[in-house]
Every structure is written in structure tokens, then in C-alpha cells.
Structure 1
Amino acid sequence: MNAEIVALIKSKDSERRKQGIMQAGRSKDPAYIPLLAKLVQIEPDLALRAFEEKTIAYLEHCAQVAQQATSRVAVQAAGAQQGQTGHNSTLKPLPKKQIVQPITPKSSTGQAKAGATKNTQPRQRGQRTAPDLNLTKIMREKEERKAYRKRQNKLALIGFTIVLLIAAFFIVFPRFVRSRSVLSGRMQLADRLNLEGHAPSFLLGGTYRDEMSNYMSYTVFEPYGPTPPGGWPVVVAVHGWGQDAFDIAAAHYSWTQEDGVLLVVPQFVNERVLSNDHEPAINHMNVMLETIEKYYDINVNAYVIYGFSWGASLTYDYTSRYPLMFGGAVCANMYYTTLPPTVSEVKYALFAGEDEDIISEVVRQVAGAMERRGTPLWYWEITNNRGHEIASIQVAKTRELMRLLRAEAT
């Protein structure tokens, strides 16, 4: 044995012991086996103990190989000596391997069955012979397992869908109801708009209300953030007959807050105003818009008005009289037919529900006449399976039109 290797093996440092064990294994010297065996009994490191046991096994294997080689050399030397002297060697030859013959099955009379010598090789453990295989049964079991997995996956999918629907009902729907309740409360508790001075450069998302007369009031929903370059974009949303400002505000509040748009919602409360004679309503609208423009920094190039039903007719009439006031006008389910002037620069979007025979026909006629005259008709649609209602396509196109005007203004 090498003294340095022994010192490494006896070292208290695990890394040095590991180096000594590795060098002992490389030496293939079985003399290290007793020392390693003692080390295994006191080794605290489990990984190093396993390494020591493997090294001992390897050295034992090396010793056996060396012993067999020594015996083989001795036998060869003895045979060579016998050939030279002519005397018999005292070494006995190695016994021949015994060949185990397979047991031949016999009949009841004790005679071997005919053909029993065929396929007499002993069967290995775990090996099937041809008569044991039942392919039909195996395929049936495979199909049953496959069908079982499909059933389990389908049940899991159904369960997941049910959980998702329950979560949507108990999470999304209450949030929707709560958001509408919060919006309604904000409108009822809105502060009076302070028209003295000027709006701050950084808006905090407040809600303000101004009572103009017995005919009309309006609510302003401010976005949150600093005044953008060029001023605030504005959407004016006008309700229809039988509605109030809350119905229109609920449709447009979310996206105007996300896009940083000032939302102005007028409320008409007198039947004299809600008539085909739009003169009183237009006069009040002019005062409202003039007030808004004085108090806020307004981007006049990003100005959109949305109207529904009677509000759409008022929107159409107002933009016809003042074709330079708004950059875009969305008229949903209107029944007014007077055409705007050909010099109008307003981008119009017209909508109607398919289930409204009269109004949808009016919108078709107005859209065709505007296209023939060259009036800027930006978009129009008769929405399938829709009646007299605020459809999501109307809100989406209002948002898209506002983004288009803002992009053109930059």
C-alpha cells in the first residue's frame, strides 16, 4: 500500500478521503480492502460511504480476476512440464459443463408423447409463448382503457366549465352590478361644476354636474391624468326618449376612462325639449358646449357626439346645422331624414337594428343618399337580430372613431 494514499483515506477532510478512495480504486490493490471496510463502519457521509462500498466491491473483483489469472498461468506451466518429463500431472482436469436435458412430457401410460422433442427449450421467466397470447383480449382491454380515459377527460372538462360559470356568476356579475351602482351613485352625488377659473392641468377622475335650466342638466365624467398634448378629447353622449343620462353613461364610461376621454352626458327632462322640434335642445347644447370649452382644454379635432334614438336624431340635426363643430357623429336608431349639407366635414356612423323595419329603412335611405352626395359616411350597419337598443358595435365604433380623429390630429 502507498503511504500517501493511506494518509488520504485516514484524513478527517471528506474531500481528501474521497481522493484517497479514488486512488486506492485505481491502484487495484486488494490490500486496501480492510482499511476501507473499517472506514465504512465509521463514515458519517452517506454518499461517501456508498462510494467506499463500491470501491471495496471493485477491489474484490480485481482480486478475483488476479487469482484466476494466476491459476491459469499455473495450469499452463504444469502442462508444459508434464510434456517435457512424460509423467502424469497431479492436477485434475476441470470438469465439463453438464448439459441439462429438458424433461420430456409423458402420457398417462408413461410413454413419451410423439413430437415432444420439438420446442423443448426451457421457457425464460416472464416470456409468453404463442398459445398464451390472446390478441383479441389485449386489444379489447386497450380500447376499454382508452374509452375510460376519454370519459374521465370529458367529465373533467364538464366540471371545469361548471366551475368557470359559477365563478363568472359570483365574481363578474356582482362586479358589473356594483360598477353600475357606483356609476349611478357618482351621478347622484356629483359635485356642482365650478365654472370659475380653469380646470387643473391634472384631472383626478371626478364627476361634476351642472343644472342649466328646468329643461336640461349635464354630467361631466373626468378621466384621470395630466392634460394630453392638444387638449382633452371629448365624447358627448345624448340619450333617447324614455331614457336618462345614466343609460348612455353606462355604455361609454368604461372605455372613455381607459382612453383618457372627457365624457359629457346631457339630461333632458321636459317634453317640450323631447320633441321633433330640436330648437330648444340645440340652444341648450350650444350653451353646454361653450361652457365646457371655456373650463377645460379641449382638443377640437377630437370631438365626437353619440346619440341614440331621439338623441340620434338630435345629433344628426345638430351636426347638419353646425358641420364644423364635431369631427365625428354616431347616430344609432334615428328616425330623422333631413340630409346634412354636402360641405360637411363630419365623419358619420349610422346604425339601426334589423328588427326595426321603419328605422332600418330610414337608415338605409339616408346612408345611400349620403354616399351619392359625397357626404363623409364613415361607417353604417344594419345590425342583425337587434332591435331598438344600444348594441356593443355602436360603442365599439364610437371608440374606434375617436381613436381615428386623435390619430389624425397628431
Structure 2
Amino acid sequence: MAFPGANWLPSATHRRPALAMAAKPKVLFLLFEGLAATVLESQVLATVRMLQAKSVAQFEVWAFACLDALMQSSRSRLGAAEQLAQAPVLLYRAVRPLSRLAYAINVLLFAWRLFPRRRDFTHIHARTDYSAAVAGPVASLFGIELIWDCRGDSVAEVEERFAGRRGWFGLLVQLRLHELRGYTRMAGRWCSRALFVTEELRDQYRELVGDKPVEIVPCAAHEELFFFDPDLRAASRRRLGYAADETVYVYSGSLTEYQGFGDTVGFFAAAHDKDPRSRLLVLTPALAAAQHELAHLPQGSFQAHACALGEVNAYLNAADVGFLLRPPLRTNRVASPTKFAEYGLTGLAVVTSEAVPYAMRVATAVGNLVTVENGCPRLPSLDRPAVARRFAERLGRSNFTENYRRIYAPHSDNRRHP
């Protein structure tokens, strides 16, 4: 049976002529993950603010929440989101995306919301495969350019999470994977242009996008939010109670399985056995789960905190080494972790591996990679301000302004930049 939405409207390559472009593009930034994810603050809202400040485009952010709890938490963040983005942020309810019927309903909901505003936007910037699949037929119908912002291998993430499941649950997983592959194919088919976070991800989906314009924009960090400051470091270490001779390892992010938090805790435990002056600082919204995982570590060797985006820099300045230890999964092979850029812009040494090729390449080139010998980390001697500066030159968000300017350019002016 054909996947819903694949053939019920003209192909993206045969859409009606796009609307006349204004001097500055007007972009609808589309999310189907609500406003609850902390990564949205840095990778969406702060980016929107920066791109508007640099006159790249004008934005509205439309966030669809597919669960009641997510809708409630997103509503509580709406004011702060608008303040951070310095752009309108609209929140809508959608259907939980767990079936083909739900997909079709969400297409209709988006079309209904967009119809009265269809002439207000020149581009739809759809974050994730699912958002692009939902927006695709609507963008084609209304003559709006669609940008597929591909964040990773969504199929691999589900497949690896539920690997080895059998019986009826295993069958449901296979059905879900088939559905996700359909969304990815549709995103590639409907989009006018595409953004990828790594070369590996671009190469994986090269056949889907063909010769359409593409840009590689890794998960970068904002220079005004992440930087090294020795005075801030000293004040933060005093506040957290760290002595001058203690080495502080930091883990920042969620506890999603592919991020390898359990392996990170195990690595730290071994490092602490060899050097009792080692300390672990965990920054995560999942505090209860983190505390459970950390409970077997020696008392006083760890701290865990939940913090807002604007507070993360102070914690990272207090640390010495950032943890980016992930299992060798397909999900990680194409990843560009946000935390890696944040670690780098604050001048941290980084523990990582070939499981994340992008991070390994950059850390090796910059010189802040921590080597491991017999299970013992060997910290490099770093000029921390210099490391922070080199990372700002590579992974500071403002370095990618022109990539966005090209991706939002009028169709006739756009060129492919692989």
C-alpha cells in the first residue's frame, strides 16, 4: 500500500511557481517536538535570534505538541521561548505521530493552520524528517520552498533502541521502522533544499536529495552563551565546592540510551579509582534518573544539576574535561552532538572515541582530545583560551551565517555547496 502523502499531490519538482521573494526571506520554522527539549533553546531559538540579528531572514516558530503533558510544559515555556528567539513563537496541538493515519491528520492540521497565512512565508524550515514529511505536501500545494533540516538517522535510533525484540512487540517495531523510512523518503522527495549536520549524514541521504542544494551545518554553539572566562571559572568552582587540585569531569545532556551515560559513569568510576581527586559533574534535566545511576559512586565524588541554557556556561567553565563517550551505533556515526560544541567553546579537553567520527576529527585537529591508556585518561596540557578560540572559529554558530543565507536564497540564486 502506498505511503500516505507520497502520491496524492504533484511532485516537489513539479510544484506551481513559488511566490515572489521579498528582499528578506520570511521563514516558518516548523517543529513537531513542542518546546520542552532543552536542545531547542540553543539549536532553534537562539539560532533564530542570531539569524534575524544578522538580517538573514525573518522568522516565526511554529511548534506542534503531540502529547497533553508536552503541550502543558511547552505552554509554560512559551514566553521565555519568544524572548530568546526575539520572534513570534506559536504553539499548536497535533496528533501523536504513531501511525499513518496520525500522519495524514497532522498534514491536514498543518494545512489548516497555514492556509490563512500561506502568502506570508517564502520558506518552511522543517526540523527533523517527520516535520519535513508533514510540511512537504502542504508546501508544494501553497508554492512555498521547503527546507529539510535533517538532524540524524531517526530509523537507526529506533532500531538500535529496540534491537532484539521479538514477538508482537518486535512486529510493532518493524512497522514503526517502515513508517519512519517512509517519512525520510518523503522528506527527501518534497524538499527544495536540505541541511545536514555532518558529511556522514549527507552522504547517507545523498540519493534522496539528488542534485538539490544542500548545506552542512553542524550542531554549533553560540559564542555569546559559551566561552571561557578564568574569573567565571574561579567563581563557579568556589560555588560548587571544588578544590584547586581536583579534576572535574562534566557530562551535559539527556540520558537517552544512545548517549551512553552508563558507560560514562563506569569510565569515571575507573578514573576515580586511579585518582581520588577526580570529580563528576552531571548537567541534565533527568535528575532522578541520573541520581539513580550515580548512587554507587563514592560519596562526594559527584554532583548533578538541572540548569537553564544560560547557566550551562558557568558549569562548563568550572570543569576540566567533557565526556562524550557514546557506543558505536549507527545513530552516533552520523551525529554532531551539541554538547561537543559547547565543551569546545569553553576550552574543555574532551573524552570521546571513533564512535562519533565528527567529534573525533575535530578534537584531534584542535588538540583537546583526551587519550586513554590502560583505562586511565591522560589529559593533554591545554592553553584553554586558545582551545576555546579555535573551537569558536570552527563551531561558533555565527560561522554558519552564510550557509543559512544560501539555503534561504531565492531558488535561482542558490547553488549546491556539498
Normalization by structure 2: what TM-score?
A: 0.28
Larger Rg over CA atoms: 1
TM-score by length of 1: 0.28
